[in-house]
Amino acid sequence: MSPKTTIDDVYAQTLARNPGEAEFHQAVHEVFGSLDRVLAKHPEYVQASILERVCEPERQIIFRVPWVDDTGRVRINRGFRVQFNSALGPYKGGLRFHPSVLLGTVKFLGFEQVFKNALTGMPIGGGKGGSDFDPKGKSDGEIMRFCQSFMTEAYRHVGEYTDVPAGDIGVGAREIGYLFGQYKRITNRYESGVLTGKGVTWGGSLVRTEATGYGAVFFTQHMLATRGRSFDGARVLVSGSGNVAIYAIEKVHELGGVVVGASDSSGSIHDPDGIDLELLRDVKERRRERIEAYATERGGRARFLPGASVWQIAGDERVDVALPCATQNELDEADAARLVANGLVAVAEGANMPTTPGAVRVFREAGVLFGPGKAANAGGVATSALEMQQNASRDSWTFEHTEERLSEIMAGIHERTAETADEYGAPGDYVVGANIAGFIRVADAMLALGVI
């Protein structure tokens, strides 16, 4: 069978076996799109059915999460943990709390996580979890009771050597705290390495909060350098205003770039004079308000674009770099075309799969540098692995040392990705490079471990 036929067959099987899970299909299709040249070179992967195996999670856990709201009413949500692949280490990946979360969402994120984690070069497998719980508008007490109930079921499936969850959309240090507290209480173990993204006074790592955003900017720096460019003076659009976006903006500003737009689910802000990060953090992190408040309080030339995506700003001004840091499929073909027409040089995915397949095509055809999430946003999970190292050795590193490690890891990911793309005849194609480099590391470990 030719590599192409094998890939088509396994993809058809994946569609049939996982009906209705469009995001999972999209993630598998994207990785498979890079693998024909790998199978041509490695027939042993076909013989061992590695493709079939990587699409089938090792274990999928779905559970009921009952909790009591502030009015005394019992509420029910659904909890998930998909333990996708543990060939390289314990399952590792975040938890997402968002009303849109379905099993297919968690599977797409878990599948991405397997190859992203492999690409970091660190000893971590891939998994993901979450719930359709909506944290928006919930009180602190409600969040705590939900997290405690979630962990009351999840504790039996996780562990320092088994599965190590962390944050994702809707899950930050506050939620990790409640989850860790409940794990500690049920197990009577202070097992710091069971979760990452902890607060620094109780086992967390410095730089973990900043890592995904900083890492995406470091990766972009390396891509820009291949064209003799830098962030100095660059005009940048960042979507989102959560943890990834905030620290991407901070690092871009530190490197001399100007971020002129950000967003949340209610709309976008355009600030041609550069985003005032302190004000944005005050609105989004401390007060947890809608982003419109930023434009109102900032005044001057800042404006709020209700319901608009941040990419629409590209119609009004030059944009050199786009950093999608919000959520999946948030940047489509029309957005990509508008960005390209306005001089775009580079895109790096701070979020997981934010760029639609059509938009990726537009960027690649236009010769725009495109850093896929598996490579560009791997700094978050890589720093989680550094947190696990610190927990295992009961140590805590300085900010400078940890940031230096993150910066080296991102440089390594860039190099590995670029070299793999060259080796497989696709120079400059970071999508091909990231998919192949991640896949080969996982596939070789699976081969070595036998039929399991």
Q: Which residues are tagged catalytic?
A: 128
Q: What's the CA gap between 280 and 191, in Å, rounded?
A: 35
Per-residue b or e along 349-363, where b marks 16 or more CB atoms closer than 10 Å to that residue's CB: bbbbbbbbeebbebb
Residue 299 burial (C-beta neighbours within 10 Å; 0-12, 13-18, 19+): exposed
Q: Does 168 bind ligand GLU (CB under 6 A)?
A: yes
Considering only CA atoms, which of 96, 215, 88 is closest in space to residue 166? 96
Choose which of 380, 397, 432, 434 interacts with ligand GLU (CB under 6 A): 380
381 belongs to the binding site for ligand GLU (CB under 6 A): yes
Nearest-5° Cα angle at 327, 324 to 328: 100
- Interface mask (CB under 6 A) for ligand GLU, residues 350-379, using x and -? --x---------------------------
Q: Which is nearer to ligand GLU, 283 or 413 (CB)?
A: 413
Q: Which is nearer to ligand GLU, 167 or 261 (CB)?
A: 167
> Minimal CA–CA distance to 336: which of 360, 308, 319?
360
Minimum CB distance to ligand GLU, residue 25 (Å): 19
CB of 436 to ligand GLU, least distance (A): 20
Position among 239, 342, 356, 384 found at the interface with ligand GLU (CB under 6 A): 384
Q: Which CB atom, from 93 or from 372, has the smaller least distance to ligand GLU?
A: 93
**Is 303 exposed, middle or buried (CB count within 10 Å of its CB: 0-12, 13-18, 19+)?**
middle
What's the closest the beta carbon of residue 37 comes to ligand GLU, in angstroms? Answer: 26
In whole angstroms, how close is the CB of 277 to ligand GLU at the nearest point? Answer: 22
Q: CA 334 → CA 324, 328, 351, distances in Å?
A: 15, 16, 19
In terms of CB distance, is 93 or 371 closer to ligand GLU?
93
User: By the 8 A CB rule, do 221 and 255 touch?
Assistant: yes
| Nearest distance in Å: CB 241, ligand GLU | 17
Which of 94, 135 has the CB closer to ligand GLU? 94
Question: Nearest-CA neighbor of 381 among 219, 215, 199?
Answer: 215
* Four-point Cα dihedral 410, 313, 101, 219, nearest 10: 0
* Residues 75-134 contacting ligand GLU, CB under 6 A: 92-94
Residue nearest to ligand GLU (CB): 94
Q: Does 222 bind ligand GLU (CB under 6 A)?
A: no
- Nearer to ligand GLU by Cβ, of 152 and 384: the residue is 384
Among residues 166 and 431, whose Cβ is nearest to ligand GLU? 166
Interface characters, 291-320, with ligand GLU (x: CB under 6 A): ------------------------------
Rounded to the nearest 5°, which phi and psi values hold at 183?
-60, -45
Q: Residue 371: in which H helix or E strand, if any?
A: strand 369-371
Q: Residues 169-208 vs ligand GLU: string with x where CB under 6 A?
A: ---------------------------x------------
Question: Do residues 85 and 1 make contact, with C-beta atoms less than 8 angstroms apart?
Answer: no
Full DSSP string of 253-309:
HHTT-EEEEEEETTEEEE-TT---HHHHHIIIIIS---THHHHHHH-TT-EEEET--
For 220, other C-beta atoms within 10 Å of its C-beta total 33
Report the run of H or E that residue 97 belongs to, with start and end: strand 91-97
The answer to whether the beta carbons of residues 324 and 350 sit under 8 Å apart is yes
Q: Residue 438 interacts with ligand GLU (CB under 6 A)?
A: no
Q: How far apart are CB 352 and ligand GLU at their closest, in Å? A: 5
Number of residues that bind ligand GLU (CB under 6 A): 10
- To the nearest whole angstrom, how small is the minimum distance from the Cβ of residue 381 to ligand GLU? 4
**Which spans of this chain sit near ligand GLU (rule: CB under 6 A)?**
92-94, 166, 168, 196, 352, 380-381, 384
